[in-house]
A = this chain, B = another copy of it.
Amino acid sequence: MNFQTVSGNKGLQQAEGLIFEVGHHEATGVDLPAPKGGKDRLGGLKRKSALDLPGLTEPETMRHYVRLSQKNYAIDLGLFPLGSCTMKHNPRLNERTARMEGFADLHPLQPISTVQGAIELMDQLSHWLLELTGMPAVALSPKAGAHGEFCGMLAIKAALAARGEDKIRTRVLVPSSAHGTNPATAVACGFTVDEVPGTADGRVDIAAMKAKLGPDVAAVMVTNPNTCGLFERDVKTIADLIHEAGGYFYCDGANYNAIVGRVRPGDLGVDAMHINLHKTFSTPHGGGGPGAGPTVLSAALAPYAPLPLITVDLTAKSGRSVYSLAEHPEEADDDLKPFGRMCAFHGQMGMFVRALTYMLSHGSDGLRQVAEDAVLNANYLLARLSGHYNAPFGQGPCMHEALFDDTNFKAEGVETIDFAKALLDEGYHPFTTYFPLVVHGAMLIEPTETEPKRELDRFAKVMISLAERAKSGDTAFFKAAPKLAPVRRLDETRAARQPKLRWRPEAATESV
7 further contact pairs, Cβ within 8 A, besides A9-B428, A62-B92, A66-B74 = A1-B484, A7-B426, A8-B427, A12-B70, A12-B485, A63-B76, A70-B77
A49 to chain B, nearest CB (A): 27
Nearest 9 pairs of A and B residues by beta carbon? A9-B427, A11-B484, A59-B89, A66-B76, A59-B450, A7-B426, A6-B465, A11-B485, A6-B462
Q: Are A6 and B461 in contact (CB under 8 A)?
A: yes
| Interface positions of A from 1 to 39, Cβ below 8 Å from B | 1-3, 5-15, 22, 31
Contact A425 B70 (CB under 8 A): no
A-B contact pairs, 8 of them (CB 8 A): A1-B2, A1-B484, A6-B462, A9-B78, A9-B426, A12-B485, A63-B78, A70-B70
Contacts of A91 in B (CB 8 A): 58
Q: Using A2-B2, A7-B426 as known contacts, say yes or no to A71 and B483 having CB atoms under 8 A apart.
A: no
Q: Do A5 and B66 have beta carbons less than 8 Å apart?
A: no
Q: Report the minimum CB–CB distance from A420 to chain B (whole Å).
A: 14
* Residue of B with least CB distance to A483: B1
Residues of B contacting A502 with CB < 8 Å? none
- A10 to B, closest residue via Cβ: B484
Q: A340: CB under 8 A from chain B?
A: no
CB < 8 Å: which of B22, B89, B428, B454 contacts A62? B89
* B427 & A13 in contact (Cβ 8 Å cutoff): yes
Contact partner, A14, options B2, B62, B88, B427, Cβ 8 Å? B427
- Residue of B5, B427, B462, B485 touching A484 (CB-CB under 8 A): B5
Q: Using Cβ atoms and an 8 Å threshold, which residues of chain B touch A78?
A: 9, 14, 63, 67
Interface size range of chain A in the complex: 35 or more
Contact with B along A415-448 (1 / 0, CB 8 A): 0000000001111100000000000000000000
Interface residues of A in 94-118 (CB under 8 A from B): none
Please give the distance in Å from A127's CB to the nearest CB on chain B: 22
Which residues of chain B come closer than 8 Å to A462, judged between CB atoms? 5-7
Closest to A2 in B: B1
Query: Closest approach, in angstroms, between the C-beta of A336 and any C-beta of chain B?
Result: 40
A12 touches B77 (CB 8 A): yes
Closest to A73 in B: B12
- Per-residue CB contact flags for chain A residues 367-380 toward chain B (1 = under 8 Å, else 0) read 00000000000000
Residues of B near A58 (CB, < 8 A) are 89, 91-92
Nearest CB of B to A76, in Å: 4
A427 and B10 contact, Cβ closer than 8 Å, known pairs A2-B1, A62-B89, A63-B76: yes
- Determine the distance from Cα of A91 to Cα of B61 in the docked complex, in whole angstroms: 11
Task: Tell whether A308 is near chain B: CB-to-CB under 8 Å.
Answer: no
The listed residue (B5, B15, B461, B483) touching A425 by CB distance below 8 A is B5
Number of copies: 2
Shortest Cβ gap from A421 to chain B (Å): 11
Interface pair B63/A427, CB less than 8 Å apart: no
Please give the residue numbers on chain A whose beta carbons come within 8 Å of chain B beta carbons, in ascending order: 1-3, 5-15, 22, 31, 57-60, 62-63, 66-67, 70-78, 88-89, 91-92, 361, 424-428, 450-452, 454, 458, 461-462, 465-466, 482-486
Do the beta carbons of B427 and A11 come within 8 Å of each other? yes
Interface-centre pick from A62, A92, A461 (highest chain B CB count, 10 A): A62
Would A482 and B11 count as touching, CB distance under 8 A? Answer: yes
Contact residues in B for A485 (Cβ distance below 8 Å) = 11-12
Residues in B with CB closer than 8 Å to A75 are 59, 63
Nearest CB in chain B: distance from A434 CB, A: 23
CB distance from A398 to the nearest CB of B (A): 22
Residues of B close to A361: CB separation below 8 A? 31
A195 to B89 CA separation, bound complex (whole angstroms): 58
Chain B residues, Cβ within 8 Å of A60: 452
A165 to chain B, nearest CB (A): 48
Which residues of the other chain, B, contact A1 by a CB distance below 8 angstroms?
1-2, 483-484
Instruction: Please determine whether A12 and B486 come into contact, CB atoms closer than 8 angstroms.
Output: yes
**Minimum CB–CB distance for A478 against chain B, Å:** 13
Closest B residue to A469 by beta carbon equals B6
Cα A361 to Cα B22 with chains together (Å): 25
Nearest CB of B to A253, in Å: 23
Rounded to whole angstroms, the CA-CA distance of A9 and B9 in the bound complex is 19
Whether B5 and A426, one on each chain, are in contact in the complex, defined by CB atoms closer than 8 angstroms, is yes
